[in-house]
Amino acid sequence: MLSSSAVAFLERLLDTPGPSGFESAPARAWRDEAARFATVRGDVHGNSMATVDGTGRADAPAIMLAGHIDEIGVIVQHIDDEGYAYIAPIGGWDVQVLVGQRIRFLGAEGDVFGVVGKKPIHLLRTDDREKASKLTDLWVDIGSTSAAETIARLNVGDAGVIDSRTIRFPNNRVVSRSIDDRIGAFVVLEALRRYAEKPGTARVVATATTQEEIGYRGGGAGVSAAAIGARMAIVVDVTFATDHPGIEKKELGNHPVGSGPVLTRGSIISPVVFRLLRDTADAVSIPYTLQAAGRDTGTDADAIHIAREGIATALVSVPNRYMHSPNELVSLDDVDHTAALIAETCRRVTAEVDFTQR
């Protein structure tokens, strides 16, 4: 079960803004926590790595645990003469989600808050009322009366996120704008913490990767995977929960919130590492569901499995409702089970494991 201190750290991590390319603040929080029990370093790409050495001989395999720490956001594209800011997306947005939201910009002198404006419905023509908003229909008002006043606080290239805070829900659930995928960065660190309490023979490196939301092939994950020299990797991300209205299980499978980690099987997934995870889950009675991925996965796994000479890679996901919205929702029970499964799986990896499917 997650400790109260672990949950407090998770909430702090979720609330720290860090869209893709601007992840330094949550990365610092992650490294500060990791330094309590691991050896920590960063790289030029912004990735953060925490290492716990195993008890085995020198040829014991290294294991990479990866969760990306960036979130979707916005970036200032233009400031007009009246001081309104116009924004472009960082990552994939449903523009309708942005209408009427408050934005927290990371200004050079500190946070700058604004509101997303749109022409009121009363002023829209009848045939326009049913149309979806475009990003070019929106602007951000920070209370300025001129371009000079805005530029004194906010400038082109400044990034921002929706200004929402983490809240707890009944049934041990948590709601946040940045669960995708700061929950993955949290899980890999929590798994490493548990591994450090009872290490196996492998050297395990938890990695908070960057720029996944904008990276065609995994953003910073490929950089860190090449540097770590791991033989095995477990990527932790979120996947679509399928227990709310409008979901087609024939297309997505069955992954309710609270059903445990989701283990992916598919074309880029190592069958050896998948079996390690599945057999461990069965042995220690951790619930899980299965997900199929016939091509790529849309996660850091796509970059990691082809790094260096190839890394045996698996994907473990947490069911997530309302992805890429201000209020994503996951179960802390699923988070706990995912961390426990990964820690125990790492303990079972020895120098004798053959990662090549025979």
Catalytic residues: 212
Q: Which residues contact 29 (CB under 8 A, 6 or more apart)?
A: 9, 12, 13, 16
**DSSP-derived 3-state class of residue 112:** strand
Least Cα distance to 156 among 147, 169, 166 occurs for: 147
Question: Phi and psi at residue 84, in whole multiples of 5°?
Answer: -75, 140
Positive or negative, the CA dihedral 337, 338, 339, 342 is positive
The number of beta carbons lying within 10 Å of the beta carbon of residue 158 is 18
Positive or negative, the CA dihedral 86, 151, 72, 299 is positive
Q: Which residues contact 327 (CB under 8 A, 6 or more apart)?
A: 164, 175, 176, 177
Which residue type sits at 259? S
Question: Pairing state of beta strands 62-68 and 203-209?
Answer: parallel
Are 133 and 118 in contact, with CB atoms under 8 Å apart?
Answer: yes
The DSSP code for 126 is G
